[in-house]
A = this chain, B = another copy of it.
Amino acid sequence: MKTLNLEPMLKPKSVAIIGASKDPEKVGHVILENYINAGYGGSLYAINKNAAPNEEMLGVKVLRKIGEIRERIDLAVIAVPAPIVPTVLEECGKAKVRTAVVVSGGFAEIGETELQDKLASIARKYNMPTLGPNCLGVMDPRSRIDTLFLPTYKLSRPQVGNVSFVSQSGAVGSTILDLISGEGFGLSKFISYGNAAHVDEVDILNYLMEDGETKVIVMYLEGIKRGKEFIEVAKKVTKKKPVIVLKAGRTSEGMAAAHSHTAALAGNYEAYEAVFRQFGFVISEDISELLHYAKIFSTEPPPLGNKIAIITNGGGAGVLTTDAISASKELVLGEFSKDTILALGKTMPKLVNVRNPLDLAGDADYKRYGTALDLISKDPNIDILIVIALFQTPGADSKTAAALIHFKQSSGKPMAVLSIGASYTEMHKIMMESSGLPVYDSPKAIASSLLKLREYYQYKNRKD
The distance from the CB of A152 to the nearest CB of chain B, in whole angstroms, is 9
A327 and B251 contacting across the interface, CB-CB below 8 Å: yes
Indicate the member of A181, A262, A322, A325 with the most B CB atoms within 10 Å: A322
A320 and B362 contacting across the interface, CB-CB below 8 Å: no
The distance from the CB of A171 to the nearest CB of chain B, in whole angstroms, is 3
B420 and A179 contacting across the interface, CB-CB below 8 Å: yes
Cβ-neighbour of A392 out of B150, B246, B393 (below 8 A): B150
B445 and A333 contacting across the interface, CB-CB below 8 Å: no
What is the 8 Å Cβ interface bit string for chain A, positions 154-172, against chain B (1 contact, 0 not)? 1110000000000011111
- Cβ of A315 < 8 Å from any Cβ of B? yes
Known contacts: A171-B316, A171-B390. The answer to whether A323 contacts B251 by CB under 8 A is yes
The distance from the CB of A317 to the nearest CB of chain B, in whole angstroms, is 6
- Cβ of A337 < 8 Å from any Cβ of B? no
A315 and B171 contacting across the interface, CB-CB below 8 Å: yes
Smallest Cβ-Cβ distance to A173: which chain B residue: B316
A172 and B314 contacting across the interface, CB-CB below 8 Å: yes
Known contacts: A288-B441, A442-B288, A443-B286. The answer to whether A252 contacts B326 by CB under 8 A is yes
B357 and A393 contacting across the interface, CB-CB below 8 Å: no
Q: List, in ascending order, chain B residues with CB within 8 A of A442's CB.
A: 286-288
A285 and B181 contacting across the interface, CB-CB below 8 Å: no
- Cβ of A254 < 8 Å from any Cβ of B? yes
Known contacts: A178-B392, A317-B171, A421-B155. The answer to whether A260 contacts B355 by CB under 8 A is yes
- Cβ of A444 < 8 Å from any Cβ of B? yes
| Number of chain A interface residues as a range | 35 or more
- Cβ of A36 < 8 Å from any Cβ of B? no
Q: List, in ascending order, chain B residues with CB within 8 A of A150's CB.
A: 392-394
Cβ-neighbour of A323 out of B250, B316, B444 (below 8 A): B250
The distance from the CB of A184 to the nearest CB of chain B, in whole angstroms, is 13
B286 and A393 contacting across the interface, CB-CB below 8 Å: no
A422 and B392 contacting across the interface, CB-CB below 8 Å: no
Assembly CA distance A333 to B315 (angstroms): 42
Q: List, in ascending order, chain B residues with CB within 8 A of A170's CB.
A: 362
B322 and A154 contacting across the interface, CB-CB below 8 Å: no
Known contacts: A156-B423, A261-B319, A316-B248. The answer to whether A288 contacts B175 by CB under 8 A is no
- Cβ of A359 < 8 Å from any Cβ of B? yes
Assembly CA distance A391 to B313 (angstroms): 38
Cβ-neighbour of A248 out of B154, B288, B323, B422 (below 8 A): B323
Assembly CA distance A231 to B34 (angstroms): 62
- Cβ of A200 < 8 Å from any Cβ of B? no
What is the 8 Å Cβ interface bit string for chain A, positions 319-345, against chain B (1 contact, 0 not)? 110111111000011000000000000
Q: List, in ascending order, chain B residues with CB within 8 A of A425's CB.
A: 178
Assembly CA distance A166 to B394 (angstroms): 21
Known contacts: A421-B179, A422-B178, A444-B288. The answer to whether A392 contacts B320 by CB under 8 A is no
B254 and A320 contacting across the interface, CB-CB below 8 Å: yes
- Cβ of A353 < 8 Å from any Cβ of B? yes
- Selected A-B contacts with CB under 8 Å, 6 pairs: A171-B316, A172-B317, A174-B393, A257-B319, A262-B315, A286-B443
Given contacts A171-B362, A261-B318, 18 further A-B contacts (CB under 8 A): A155-B424, A170-B362, A171-B314, A171-B316, A174-B390, A178-B421, A178-B422, A181-B422, A248-B316, A248-B323, A251-B323, A251-B327, A253-B322, A254-B322, A260-B353, A286-B442, A286-B443, A287-B420
- Ranked 5 nearest A-B pairs via Cβ: A171-B314, A169-B316, A254-B323, A261-B315, A172-B316
List chain A positions with a Cβ less than 8 A from chain B. 110, 149-150, 153-156, 168-172, 174-176, 178-179, 181-182, 220, 222, 246, 248-254, 257-258, 260-262, 285-289, 313-320, 322-327, 332-333, 351, 353, 355, 357, 359, 362, 390-394, 420-425, 441-445
